[in-house]
C-alpha cells in the first residue's frame, strides 16, 4: 500500500456510493496523510474490526435512526482522536529515546486497543448477526427512548474525549475512558439486560432536568477518585509484569462499580485509572469535582440532551 492509498481491503469491500460519503473521504484523507509507520498501525485492525462496520453501513444493516451519530463517532477517531493519540504517544519520554520511528509500530498497544474498543462498541448497532439489539430493531421491538439514550451516551463519550484532548490527557487516560465507557455501553445500554421501558423513561426524564444536584455528583466523583488513586498506587508498587497489572487494574474498576452505590443515572462509573506517579499527581490537582465545574463531562456521570 502506498502512503496515498486507502488499503485495498477497505476500498474493494465498499460500493462507489459509499466512497462518496464524508466518512469514506475522512478515511481516505487519514491514510493519505499518515506516514508508513502510522498507516501500518491500523492495517490488521481495519481488516478485523473496521471493515465489517463500514460494510454494514454501506449495506444499511445498521440501526438507521443512529446513522449520523455512528458516522460522527467514526469521524471523531479518524479526524481527531488518532492523530492526537499518535502525537501524545510519540512525545512521551520512553518513546523519544528511540530515534527510529518505525519502532512505533511495535509499541502501538494503547492506540490499537482504543481503536478495537471503539469498533466493538459500534458493532452491536451495525451487525445484525452479532447482536440482538439490531434484530430487535428490525422486528420493531426497540423503543424510541432506548435509541435516544444510546445516541446520548455516544455523544457524551465523544464530548468527554474531546474535553480530555483539549486538556492534554495522556494516552492511558483516554484508553481507560474508552475501556470503561465501552464496558458500560456494551454491558448495559445495548445488552439484553436493559429492557425496561420504565427505566428508559426515568433516565431520560432525569437527563432532561435542569436542576441536577452537582454537590452529589461531585461527592461521588471525589470518593471514586480517592479509591481509584489508592488502588493504582498499590498496583504501582506491585512487582508484576505490565499485562498482569493491566488485568488487575480492570478488575479494580469492576469492584468499584460493584461496591459504590449507583448515581441517579446508570452512566455512572469511576474516573479512568492512573498508572504512573506523574498521572497520580496530575489527577490530584483535578480531583474533588473541579473537572466537572470546568466543563469536563463523563458519559458515566453526567450527560445532557440537546
Residues 16 and 134 in one domain: yes
Inform me whether the pLDDT recorded for 294 exceeds 70: no
pTM of the model: 0.61
252 and 230, same structural domain?
Answer: yes
Least confident of 80-84, 89-93, 121-125: 89-93
pLDDT band at 97 (very low <50, low <70, confident <90, very high): low
With contact defined as beta carbons under 8 Å apart, do 5 and 45 qualify? no
pLDDT digits (tens, 9 = 90+) for 173-209: 888 788 777 777 777 777 777 667 677 777 777 666 6
Same domain, yes or no: 128 and 185: no
User: Is residue 31 very low, low, confident or very high in pLDDT (cuts 50, 70, 90)?
Assistant: confident
98 and 165 share a domain?
no
Residues 5 and 137 in one domain: yes
When pLDDT is cut at 50, 70 and 90, the band that residue 300 belongs to is: very low
Calpha distance 36→4 (Å, rounded): 10
Residues 101, 12 share a domain: yes
Q: How far is CA 229 from CA 109, 224, 242, 281, 301, in A?
A: 23, 9, 18, 10, 18
Per-residue confidence (pLDDT) for residue 271, from 0 to 100: 41
Are 225 and 287 contacting, i.e. CB atoms less than 8 angstroms apart? yes
Provide mean pLDDT across the span 128-136.
78
Total structural domains in the chain?
Answer: 2
Based on the fold, state whether residues 147 and 131 are members of the same structural domain. no
Under a CB-based contact definition with an 8 Å cutoff, are residues 297 and 160 in contact?
yes
H or E element: which one contains 228? Answer: helix 214-237
Mean pLDDT of 95-116: 59
- What is the domain range of residue 212? 143-306
pLDDT of residue 109: 66
pLDDT(41) > 50: yes
Decide if pLDDT at 131 tops 60.
Answer: yes
Percent share of the chain, pLDDT over 70: 55
Which range, of 9-18, 188-197, 272-281, averages the lowest pLDDT?
A: 272-281
Same structural domain, 151 and 300: yes
Q: Please indicate, yes or no, whether residues 302 and 170 belong to a single structural domain of this protein.
A: yes
The span from the CA of 293 to the CA of 302, in Å, is 12
Q: Please give the residue that has the higher pLDDT: either 17 or 185.
A: 17
Q: Last residue of some domain: 114, 142, 170?
A: 142
Say whether both 166 and 205 belong to one domain.
Answer: yes
Identify which has the larger pLDDT, 276 or 44.
Answer: 44
- Residue written as cell 432536568? 209
3-class SS of residue 191: coil
Mean of the per-residue pLDDT values for the chain? 68
Question: What mean pLDDT is predicted for residues 158-178?
Answer: 84
> CA–CA separation, 251 vs 256, rounded Å?
9
| 3-state secondary structure labels for all residues of 235-247 | HHHCCCCHHHHHH
Q: With 50 as the cut, is the pLDDT of residue 17 above it?
A: yes
Average pLDDT over residues 21-43: 79
Q: Identify the pLDDT of residue 65.
A: 92
Select from 271, 252, 80, 281 the least CA-distant residue to 177. 271
Mean of pLDDT values over 104-123: 70
CA-derived radius of gyration, the chain: 20
Looking at the structure, do residues 135 and 150 belong to the same domain, yes or no?
no
| End-to-end Cα, the chain, rounded Å | 42
Q: How far apart are CA 2 and CA 39, in angstroms?
A: 9
User: What pLDDT is recorded for position 299?
Assistant: 40
Average pLDDT (275-304) is 39
Report whether pLDDT(139) > 70.
yes
Give the domain-ending residue among 117, 142, 167: 142
Residue 275 shares a structural domain with residue 154? yes
CA-CA-CA-CA dihedral for 275, 108, 176, 242, to nearest 10: -40
Using the 3D structure, point to which of 102, 120, 142 is the last residue of a domain.
142
Cα-Cα-Cα-Cα torsion 166, 169, 173, 178, nearest 10 degrees, comes to 20
Q: 194-252 pLDDT, tens per residue?
A: 667 677 777 777 666 655 554 554 555 566 666 666 766 666 666 666 556 556 555 55
Residue 72 pLDDT class (50, 70, 90 cuts) = very high
Amino acid at each position: 500500500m502506498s502512503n496515498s492509498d486507502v488499503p485495498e481491503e477497505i476500498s474493494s469491500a465498499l460500493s462507489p456510493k459509499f466512497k462518496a460519503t464524508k466518512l469514506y473521504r475522512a478515511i481516505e484523507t487519514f491514510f493519505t496523510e499518515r506516514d508508513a509507520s502510522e498507516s501500518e498501525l491500523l492495517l490488521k485492525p481495519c481488516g478485523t474490526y473496521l471493515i465489517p462496520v463500514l460494510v454494514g453501513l454501506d449495506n444499511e444493516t445498521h440501526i438507521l435512526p443512529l446513522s449520523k451519530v455512528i458516522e460522527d463517532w467514526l469521524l471523531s477517531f479518524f479526524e481527531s482522536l488518532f492523530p492526537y493519540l499518535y502525537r501524545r504517544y510519540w512525545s512521551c519520554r520512553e518513546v523519544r529515546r528511540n530515534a527510529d520511528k518505525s519502532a512505533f509500530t511495535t509499541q502501538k498497544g494503547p492506540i490499537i486497543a482504543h481503536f478495537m474498543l471503539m469498533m466493538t462498541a459500534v458493532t452491536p448497532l451495525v451487525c445484525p448477526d452479532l447482536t440482538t439489539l439490531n434484530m430487535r430493531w428490525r422486528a420493531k421491538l426497540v423503543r424510541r427512548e432506548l435509541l435516544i439514550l444510546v445516541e446520548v451516551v455516544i455523544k457524551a463519550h465523544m464530548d468527554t474525549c474531546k474535553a480530555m484532548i483539549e486538556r492534554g490527557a495522556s494516552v492511558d487516560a483516554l484508553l481507560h475512558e474508552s475501556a470503561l465507557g465501552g464496558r458500560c455501553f456494551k454491558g448495559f445500554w445495548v445488552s439484553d439486560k436493559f429492557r425496561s421501558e420504565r427505566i428508559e423513561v426515568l433516565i431520560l426524564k432525569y437527563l432532561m432536568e435542569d436542576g441536577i444536584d452537582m454537590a452529589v455528583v461531585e461527592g461521588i466523583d471525589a470518593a471514586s477518585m480517592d479509591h481509584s488513586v489508592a488502588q493504582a498506587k498499590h498496583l504501582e508498587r506491585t512487582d508484576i509484569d505490565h499485562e498482569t497489572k493491566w488485568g488487575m487494574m480492570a478488575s479494580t474498576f469492576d469492584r468499584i462499580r460493584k461496591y459504590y452505590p449507583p448515581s441517579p443515572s446508570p452512566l455512572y462509573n469511576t474516573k479512568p485509572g492512573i498508572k504512573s506517579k506523574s498521572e497520580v499527581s496530575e489527577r490530584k490537582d483535578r480531583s474533588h469535582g473541579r473537572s466537572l465545574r470546568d466543563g469536563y463531562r463523563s458519559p458515566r456521570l453526567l450527560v445532557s440532551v440537546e
